[in-house]
Amino acid sequence: MALLSFDGSPHDGSLKLLPEWNSQPAITPTTIIDHSIVGSAEGAWRHFHDNTGIESHFIVGKSGLIWQLMDTGRQADANLNANRFAVSIETEDDGDPDTQPWTRAQLATLAWLHNKLVAVHPSIPRRLCPSEAGGGLGYHTLFGAPSAWTPVAKSCPGTVRKRQWRDVLLPAFLAGTAPAAPAPPPPPKEHDMFILRCDQTAGAAGRQLRLVNGQRSRVITSAERAELGAEGVVEHDLTGHPGLYDEVLELAEHQAVALELSPQQITDLGKAVGIHLEAAGHPTLTITGTAAPAPGG
């Protein structure tokens, strides 16, 4: 019997056993096959639980949490002709594994689980599966679809995940290590440029999303916004303050300015814009808070 201990796993794990977890035919595992669910972890578990005869040994959620569903010394019927020698690992994907990559947590957990299975089952060779029955590490459509491992056409574990498997998981498995840590994200570029957003501008609708950089500003698309956000460019939302939005754009295009703002406007604008303008080389910047007169005063 092989129910794993999850001590040392990067994102923990637990047993979530199916009714047939220890009643399926005994196997000697030689192969690990990675899958994608095309759905949620909970949905897959309920499908396996309520439709006995279909199982997988593990489910790895997007958080990296592992559920073990079956004894790894027992057959799980997720791999067609490989059922008699394969340990299968399902991974959560929210229904779109072709474009949704494995999360960093999933990659770390998969690498740990691959290594753990080799330690528990020395019958699994540390290599890329050379054939459908050759033993090692594989993914569901490694030998095509349909194939000896799947009876239908599919992309499992998904287009983008196959690239991650070859670039990250397979090298880590062959080396017996965890995957290399991803590079840290770049620091925010608040002193260099920022995105200014306002969903209620008085002027043209095209002015709703702008990139402010030094003494220039320009309209950007949603795609550019996503790319800049990924690079750490900070976005400031002035929705509800279209007048302030226009003033800030004008401010960004002048060398020397004096801008009078109410206390509430100063709060809305925040420290970030002032820091940006100073860093951009404006020789003079005066921001004062003047409370609006009380009605009838």
Q: What is the 3-state secondary structure (H, E, C) of 18-58?
A: CCCCCCCCECCCCEEEECCCCCCHHHHHHHHHHCCCCCCCE
Query: Which of 143, 175, 207 is the last residue before a domain boundary?
Result: 175
Q: Two tokens at 45?
A: 């578990």
Report the distance separating Cα 12 and Cα 104, nearest Å.
14
- 51 burial (CB, 10 Å; 0-12 / 13-18 / 19+) is exposed
In a domain, 187, yes or no: no
Adjacency order of strands within the sheet including 66-68? 13-15, 66-68, 58-60, 86-91, 31-34, 136-139
Please check whether residues 242 and 168 belong to one and the same domain: no
Task: Give the model's confidence band at 94: pLDDT under 50 very low, under 70 low, under 90 confident, else very high.
Answer: confident
Has this prediction a pTM greater than 0.85? no
Please check whether residues 121 and 22 belong to one and the same domain: yes
Element (H, E) at 216: strand 216-219
Q: Two tokens at 148?
A: 């000896």
Query: Which of 113, 147, 175 is the last residue before a domain boundary?
Result: 175
pLDDT at 14 over 90: yes
Residue 137 lies in domain: 13-175
CB burial readout 238-259, b (16+ within 10 A) else e: beebbebbbbbbebbeeeebeb
- Residue the block writes with tokens 């956000």: 229
Report the distance separating Cα 218 and Cα 213, nearest Å.
9
Q: Two tokens at 203?
A: 């002027």
pLDDT at 289 over 70: no
Q: How much is the average pLDDT of 245-258?
A: 56
Report the distance separating Cα 192 and Cα 255, nearest Å.
16
Please check whether residues 137 and 47 belong to one and the same domain: yes
**CATH number of the domain that residue 108 is part of:** 3.40.80.10
When the pLDDT of each residue in the chain is averaged and rounded to a whole number, the result is 80
pLDDT at 254 over 90: no
**CA torsion, points 148, 151, 153, 157, in degrees to nearest 10?**
-70
In a domain, 3, yes or no: no
Q: How much is the average pLDDT of 96-123?
A: 95
Domains contained in the chain, number: 2
In a domain, 5, yes or no: no
Q: How much is the average pLDDT of 286-296?
A: 45
In a domain, 138, yes or no: yes
Please check whether residues 72 and 144 belong to one and the same domain: yes
pLDDT at 95: 87
Residue 237 CB neighbour total at 10 angstroms:
13
In a domain, 130, yes or no: yes
In a domain, 62, yes or no: yes
Task: Give the model confidence (pLDDT) of 124-157 as tens digits.
Answer: 999 999 999 999 999 999 999 999 999 999 999 9
pLDDT at 257: 40
pLDDT at 284: 43
Task: Give the model's confidence band at 288: pLDDT under 50 very low, under 70 low, under 90 confident, else very high.
Answer: very low
Rounded to 5°, the CA angle 278-283-285 comes to 65
Q: Between 267 and 94, where is the model more confident?
A: 94
pLDDT at 53: 75
pLDDT at 54: 86
Task: Give the model's confidence band at 51: pLDDT under 50 very low, under 70 low, under 90 confident, else very high.
Answer: confident
Q: Which of 70-84, 235-249, 281-295 has the lowest mean pLDDT?
A: 281-295
> Which of 291, 212, 219, 193 shows the shortest CA–CA distance to 254?
212
How far, in whole angstroms, is CA 132 from its chain's centroid?
A: 31
Q: How much is the average pLDDT of 107-112?
A: 96
* Whole-number percent of the chain with pLDDT over 90: 55
Q: Is 90 helix (H, G, I), strand (E, B) or coil?
A: strand
In a domain, 6, yes or no: no
pLDDT at 293 over 50: no
Please check whether residues 92 and 225 belong to one and the same domain: no
pLDDT at 218: 73
Please check whether residues 75 and 109 belong to one and the same domain: yes
Query: Which of 175, 204, 225 is the last residue before a domain boundary?
Result: 175
Please check whether residues 55 and 25 belong to one and the same domain: yes
**CA torsion, points 64, 69, 70, 71, in degrees to nearest 10?**
60
Return the bridge partners of 15, or none: 68
- 150 burial (CB, 10 Å; 0-12 / 13-18 / 19+) is buried
In a domain, 211, yes or no: yes
Please check whether residues 18 and 136 belong to one and the same domain: yes
Please check whether residues 170 and 240 belong to one and the same domain: no
DSSP, residue by residue, 270-287: HHHHHHHHHHTT-SEEEE
Please check whether residues 160 and 207 belong to one and the same domain: no
Task: Give the model confidence (pLDDT) of 180-238 as tens digits.
Answer: 665 555 554 444 576 767 765 444 444 467 666 655 667 777 777 777 777 777 777 77
Q: Between 197 and 257, where is the model more confident?
A: 197
Please check whether residues 199 and 169 belong to one and the same domain: no
Please check whether residues 171 and 207 belong to one and the same domain: no
